[in-house]
Structure 1
Amino acid sequence: MKALRTGLLGAVLATTAVVVPAPEVAPDDVALVRAQRSGAVDLTPDVVWILAVGSDARPGQSMTRSRGDALQMVGIDSRTGAASAIGIPRDSFVAIPGHSANRVNAAMVLGGPELLGRTVAGMVGVQPDYVMVTRFPFFEDLVDDIGGITVTNPRRFSDSSLKPEGFAQGRIRLNGYGAMAFARIRKTLAGGDFARSANQQRVLRGIGAEIRAKADKPGFVERGVLSVVQHMSTDLGPGELFRLARAVARVDASRITTCVVGGSVATIRGMSVVRPNLTQARRLGAAARGDATLPRGC
């Protein structure tokens, strides 16, 4: 396999994984910021929460001041290896601190990753410790560099632009581009944004499984963290990055639980939006807050 361009923390599920670009990749292809400004987060024995965001930024646009196309709130219990992901439909119409209500992904445009973190915290009742933002080409590199991933697809679907040949039902193997398309297609899915968020969780689970299988190789985590320090845009120090990467590497695939916040489609101010089920969102946050475990079947 070619040299890994990614280490651990990013796309987690198992959301997650620390994503590390190679020297030839621009540093602004991935950003990791501390959402809690009081100081370094103690990863033990507490659950650490990471808001993973796929930025919809176009070339030349600021990745951290563009709308998020994928939003997953990920919790990791470094004591037990349990992990959870709460999918946030990107068009959820919610209160944005200091601004009028809008789609949740508008928060990053208005105030960067920190405001997006506060907005999602208002939905689920859990404040993320970190916000991680990546561009989708970087995400494709991640999947290719770990050798591809396996996902279980509940039903066949396709998209005339991203994947005309479609994805078969059942267990399928995806390369970087395939994983990106699987995670981004929405219009041809019966469940729309809700089904897309569930597919994103399937991709993150696949990434987590591949990374966990390689995490015990000598030097894997260490090399990843060093690469992060050199090439990632972050306000974290090397020690904090290393502890975070270790927490991700210890995730037990059999203890990963996921759920997508439900809701209904509506039109507000001329926009097609999702009215999220905030009662469910806060119930999920309360359930996973202490041990990063969600109820099976949501």
Structure 2
Amino acid sequence: MPRGRAQAGAAGVAVADRPAPRRYAPRQDPEKVPADQRRAAADRATRRPGPAADRRTSGRPPRNRPSGRSAKAAASSARGKGRAIAKKLPRLRPLHWFLVALLVLVVMPIGMLFYYDAQLHRVDALKAYSGRPAGTPGTTWLIVGTDSRADLSQDQKDRLATGDTDGTRTDTIMLAHLPPSGKAMLISVPRDLYVSIPGMGQHKINAAYNDGGPALLAQTVEQLSGLRIDHYAEIGFGGFDALVDAVGGVEMCLDRPLRDPKAGLRLKAGCQQLDGAQALGLVRTRAFPNADLERVVNQRKFMTALMSRALSPSVLLNPFRLFPLLNGATGALTVGENDHLWHLAWLGLSLRGDTVTTTVPTGGPVTTDDGSSLATDQSTTDFFDYLRRGEPLPDELLNDDGGAVS
């Protein structure tokens, strides 16, 4: 054999004996799935939800929902735990329900009463002094309406037509006398009554408050009447306005139209609901032939109407009226140091019914160093003598004529 072919044959043998190079050829058979995963897939296939459920749950991770049997067992366990907790809680027996009702109906109102009582403004109006009258039959209140503008803004002064006068004077002086028997009495003391004021001499009675405050006015009234004053209440312009608005206004019937620019008053004749500003104008106006003597008649009639309105069921049973009334009363009223909210409530109940209203009789007009005044005479003395003895007043000493309120 030639040498070249022999070499080729040898090379061919060598090539044939060398293994062929490996090429990338992935297997097409699926990988084996563990047996537990195959069983889970089979279970899902048998419980496959419908198309709607597929749409609702598409894109959401699967939830581990308990089987029907396990859900029932969980619900039963929860009910059992709830019953066990309920057994441990104390049961409300009838006595317990009674105590709860007592808390709501009694304890809470009493707590509110003391809270609002603490909000009242107080002043030492009834001071002890030498020669002060001893206790007299019944109960006597000194009620004062002042022309104080101290707490009013300029807008309020303009709206209420109060002007800008400085200082504080008594625009109204009343005695509420609750005798031991018979009807309650509301008595007006004319502001121009010329009397003796301790430490000042003879002056109009309203000068006592202007120069000596509530204490000097109370002492002056006590020495004039011989009555011992048991309680004191005072209200100013702004407080009066707020109090009337708090009860939703007061209905008054007028027998004539009233026009008084000085008091900001413009009212028609007939029955109408007065708001705070209108009511303040009514009790302030002196646009009458007898000026202050007719004004005090309107004041008394309005006060009894206000008491009746404030203590009516439409106010007391309506929280939207009751709480504004309490806030208005505590913010507007100034009382004596020993006076409380329950005293005011008793006064209101006493005056809302059939009340005797009158003006202290006088000796008529006189000219004094203070200008036009009203003198005292024997009728003034007799009037207070009946009250001190606790006896009914004779008709000839009663005067309730005039005014514009029918």
TM-score normalized with structure 2 length: 0.54
Q: Distance in 2 between matches of 1:180 and 1:248?
A: 21
Greater shift in the superposed pair: 190-199 or 65-74 = 65-74
Compare 137-146 and 245-254 and name the one that shifted more. 245-254
- In structure 2, the partner of 1:17 is none
Shift of 1:290: 6.0
When you count helix as a share of all residues, which structure comes out higher? Answer: 2
Q: 1:86 touches 1:260 (CA, 8 Å); kept in 2? A: yes
* Residues 233, 49 of structure 1: alpha-carbon distance in 2 compared, 3 angstrom cutoff: same
Higher relative contact order (CA 8 A, sep 6+): 1
Unaligned runs of 5+ in 1: 1-19, 39-44
State whether structure 2 residue 294 is matched by structure 1 residue 195: yes
Greater C-alpha radius of gyration: 2
Show the counterpart of 1:9. Answer: none
Partner Cα separation in structure 1 for residue 328 and residue 278 of structure 2 = 25
Amino acid at match of 1:73: L
Structure 1 residue corresponding to 2:230, chosen from 117, 129, 134: 129
Candidates 168, 185, 194, aligned match of 2:285? 185
- Kindly tell me: are residues 103 and 137 of structure 1, through their superposed partners in 2, closer, same or farther at Cα, counting changes over 3 Å? same
Q: Distance in 1 between matches of 2:394 and 2:271?
A: 24
**TM-fit CA distance, 1:47:** 2.3
Question: 2:98 aligns to what?
Answer: none
1:138 aligned residue: 239
CA distance 1:265–1:249, shift in 2 (3 Å):
closer
Aligned residue number for residue 8 of structure 1: none
Tell me which amino acid in the other structure corresponds to 1:287: Y
One-letter amino acid of the counterpart of residue 253, structure 1: R
Alignment of 1:58-207 (within 5 A): 58-59=149-150, 66-77=168-179, 82-163=183-264, 165-168=266-269, 170-186=270-286, 188-207=287-306
What's the counterpart of residue 251 of structure 1?
A: 350
Corresponding residue for 1:272? Answer: 371
> Any idea what SS the aligned residue of 1:106 has?
helix
Shift of 1:207: 0.9
The TM-score, its normalising length taken from structure 1, stands at 0.71
Q: CA deviation at 1:222?
A: 11
Name the Cα RMSD after superposition: 3.9
* 1:47 aligns to 2:138 (yes or no): yes
- 1:57 has 2:151 as partner: no
Query: Structure 1 residue 144: deviation in Å?
Result: 0.8
Alignment match of 1:35 (pick from 126, 137, 153): 126
Offset at 1:166? 3.4
Aligned pairs, number:
259
